[in-house]
Structure formats: C-alpha cells, structure tokens
Amino acid sequence: MTDTPARPIARAPRGFADKRARDLAAERRILSAVSEVYERYGFEPFDTSAFEYADALGKFLPDADRPNEGVFALTDDDDQWMALRYDLTAPLARFAAQTWDTLPKPFRRYAYGPVWRDEKPGPGRYREFVQCDADTVGSARPEADAEVIAAAAEGLEAAGLPRGAYVLRINNRKLLNGLLATAGVADDRQKLAVLRAIDKLDRLGPEGVRLLLGEGRLDESGDFTKGAGLAPAAIDSVIAFTAVEAGRGDALDRLSNVVGGSEDGAAGVEELARIHQALTGMGLEADRALVDPSVVRGLEYYTGPVFEAELLLQTTDERGEAVRFGSVGGGGRYDDLVARFTGQAIPATGFSFGVSRLAAALRAAGRDAGAGARGPVVVIAFDEARMADYFAAAAELRAAGLPAEVYLGSSGMKAQMKYADRRLSPAAVILGEDELAAGAVTIKNLDLGRQLAGQVSDNREWREARPGQQTLPRAELVAAVRKIVEAAS
C-alpha cells in the first residue's frame, strides 16, 4: 500500500482577492478615465517598483532588526531589508530625494498600482489593493493644493460619480494648531486626544465630542473613554470651531473669528482663502469642494491643507441593505516627507483614492463601472476537419478589432452556446456544413436573446422562432457582428 501524497487545500491567502472580468473591467475603466483627467492637468505618468528598502518607507518600523510590522518585508542578498510598498507616496518621496537635481520643478506626477499592508484583514479591508494618486512636489503655493483638489473632483466625475454624488471637504492642519494654541493645549497627548474627539463629530455629535474633550465619555456598552481634560472655556472654543458650518467664503470669515488670533490659525485661514480663490477661478463650485473644520485626516503626517472625498450617494449591499461608504479618497500637504532623506524641506501635496473601494462604492450605488464587461464573440466548433475555417472567421473578427475566440472544448452545440452565454458573449458564430457549402454564416445575437428571455412563456415557440438569429452571406460577418457589439455599448 502506497501513501497518497498530501494535496494542498485550494484557498486564497486571507486579505487577498481574486478578480474576474467584471472587477478588472471596473478598475481599468476608472483608471483610464482618471488618467486622462490627470494628464489633462499636466501630471506626468510615473511608477516605482513594488519593493523599497524598508528604511525608506519609514512608517511601520518599530524594530530595526525585524522591520516587517505592518509591511511585507524580506532581506536582500546583502542583508538589507526590503518591503513591498504600502502606498505610492513614500516611493515618490524617495524618488524625488534621489533625483531632485534632474527633475523639472515642481514635479507633477500621477501613479496607480497595487500596494500591500500586512494588517488584519476584514470586510472590505484587504492586504493588497490598488491606489491612484496625483501629487505635486516642489510647490509651497496653496494654489498647488487647489489644483490637486480640482483634478480629484474632475477625476471622480470621470470615474462615474455625477455632481452631487460626492463632495471634497477641506481643512488645514494650521487651523487646528491655532485652535489648540487658542485653547491652551500644549501637551502632545492632550493634542492627540482633542483631534481624536473632533474626528468623532459625525458619529457622536457635539455633545459626545464635548464629553471627550472634558473628563471622558461612557458609551452604551458601559465602556469609558478617558477625555482630553480641557477646561470649560477651552471646550467651548473647540466646539465653536467644529460648529462652523461647512462652506467657502463665509466659512473662512467665521473660522478667522475663532482661530485668527493665533499665528498658525491666521496662516491657515489665509491658505484656505487662496485655495478658495483658485477653485473659484477653475469653476469648482462650493457644492463640490468646501471648507469643513471637522475634517481630521492623518494630522501627524500632514502639515497644511487636508482634504477628503465623501460619497453622498445612497448605497446598498447585495441584500439591498443601506451601507455607508463615507470617504472614498483624500490627501493633503506633506512638506516634511522628502526631508527625511535630504534634511531639506521640500513642499508637496497630493490626493489618493482606493480604486477597488471606489469601484465597490459605484457598484453599491447602482453605477457599476464593470457592468459592461463583455466576453468575446464565440465561434462554434462542429467538426475537427473544419477548424481552419473557424479560425479564419475568428481571425477576421480580431483583425477588425472585435474580440473573438474559437471554442476549444470538447462539448457539443448546446454546451458551446451555454459557454458563450456564461462568458457574456455578444454573439455566437455558426459555420455548419450548410453554411460552409452555401458561403454563408449564421450569427446568433446573444445580447438580444438574454434581453428577451424574461418574456418567454412558451419554450417550444421560443426554440422555433429562434429570436436574434440570422443567416447572412459570409462576407457580411464582420459588419453584422459589429452592429450587435455596438448596439450594446
């Protein structure tokens, strides 16, 4: 008796997803549309390798001897740690520092590609996903931030979000620094507690935030969150700041009244005013991009303006239940990132969105960017001896720019038609003995068949009527198939 070798279990690693045509078509269409927008704004296409030296990433490195916490890392043959990139910004900073003397300044680039994070996966949270970024490195002008915001808005619309379906919310790190100075907050721990409290405004409301700014808050489960410990007057200042209604011109006036007395606060208001003027000049209305003091986004990372793209569409999951996507992208100014390498401050600003997340949001809103994913035209194979004829038909369609394939399985006519239907093929091409003898071709319009299938009441009548099936001269193959394909576009 021989031992049967152990067979591996077919399974995908946790946090990694397989993607078929619909998902890939959605991502490709989004990337194609957004790339066109970014190039129109003058951003140069750019990419870096999947791996960076771990010390160049500089985010998840608590242990110099094993710098793989949060990233997928390994040692090179020279014992240097390398890691898969966890975003597209850290590699840009490394590239800018490495080639700064030779780059046009400012350097404007857009990039997209997979990134990897060694974090606990969960629903909608993957270890590998595709990001798309647009950045300007080397300009400290607030107008550079404004242009990134405008390009992001136009990119989201090109991807499939109509106006009114999203809004870009803008804040400034300097406003928050001015707020904290006005409130008398100097301790770093206390600053972080205040910022975290503000970040919960949309979930807890003003009263919940007020508790977190003070002694703390007891939630419904009985868990107690320790507060920032601010004095009542300081709490009032923070609440007044968060109460400023989102907008543009009027909002800036109200924010100036709250934080304009501090140097940082006044600088932040001035930067936002210049962003507002540039956005107005570019025709970006306040309902598409507005100042919102409640936005708190990675403020240990960003140094000035920050922005977040929020989805406003009603979205549902596959069960028809309402889901909230909230943010579908964001960014801001990060003037200190390149300085990690050079010691020289080089200003930079950018916007990033998760392509898979945006595709999922569009699908949940009934605007699936991959809904039109199609299979090829399928040429039915009847006879081994006539395979050359079938391949000639497929080659003719391909030469005309129409995707086509010859069925290469071993099943009969019925199974081949089922195969074509499962591939979402627009049409099947039939070259039987009768067609070949007559110099003809039979084309079955599968799109029309799927459309009419729901109206069937009599299967026999359906088979006899053969809806969407036509026999034409062989020379008319390409024109007839093209008509079917274009009717579905």
Closest CA to 355 of 201, 121, 156, 191: 156
Residue with tokens 């907050």: 185
Residue 150 near residue 165 (C-beta atoms within 8 A): no
The H-assigned helical ranges of 21-87 are: 21-40, 54-57
DSSP character string of 77-140: TTS-EEEE-SSSHHHHHHHHHHHGGGS-SSEEEEEEEEEE--S--BTTB-SEEEEEEEEEES--
42: buried, middle or exposed (CB in 10 Å: 19+, 13-18, 0-12)? exposed
CA-based max dimension of the chain: 94
- The third-level CATH classification (topology) of the domain covering 377-487 is Rossmann fold (3.40.50)
Q: Specify the pLDDT at position 62.
A: 42
Residue-level pLDDT at 394: 97
Q: What is the pTM of this model?
A: 0.83
pLDDT in tens, the chain (489 residues): 567 788 999 999 999 999 988 889 999 999 999 999 999 999 999 999 999 998 888 754 444 555 556 889 888 899 888 999 999 999 999 999 999 999 999 999 999 999 999 888 877 788 999 999 999 999 999 999 999 999 999 999 999 988 888 999 999 989 888 888 877 887 778 888 888 888 888 788 889 999 999 898 988 888 888 988 888 888 888 888 888 888 888 888 888 888 877 899 899 999 999 999 999 999 999 999 999 988 887 656 789 999 999 988 776 666 666 667 778 899 999 998 898 899 988 999 999 999 988 988 888 777 776 666 789 999 999 999 999 999 999 999 999 999 999 999 999 999 999 999 999 899 999 999 999 999 999 999 998 877 765 555 555 554 555 568 999 999 999 999 999 999 876
Q: Which two tokens stand for residue 308?
A: 């977040």
What pairing do the DSSP bridges indicate for beta strands 216-218 and 224-226?
antiparallel
What one-letter code names the amino acid at 83? A
CA distances from 118 to 19, 69, 267, 353, 432 (A): 20, 7, 38, 19, 55
Q: What is the pLDDT of residue 67?
A: 56
Residue from 363, 370, 357, 372 nearest 28 by CA = 370
Element (H, E) at 427: strand 427-430
Burial class (CB in 10 A: 0-12, 13-18, 19+), 43: buried
**One-letter amino acid for residue 248 of the chain:** R
Token pair in block for residue 399 = 């030469």
In whole angstroms, give the CA distance from residue 153 to residue 137. Answer: 20
Name the 3-class secondary structure at 167.
strand
Contacts of 437 (CB under 8 A, 6+ apart): none
Cis peptide before 347 (omega within 30 of 0): no
From the number of C-beta atoms within 10 Å of its C-beta (0-12, 13-18, 19+), residue 64 rates as: exposed
Provide the token pair at 255. Answer: 């924010």
pLDDT for 459 equals 54
Q: Are 199 and 207 in contact (CB under 8 A)?
A: no
d(CA 306, CA 89): 15
pLDDT of 179 reads 84
Task: In whole angstroms, give the CA distance from residue 90 to residue 346.
Answer: 14
Q: Where are the domains of the chain?
A: 377-487
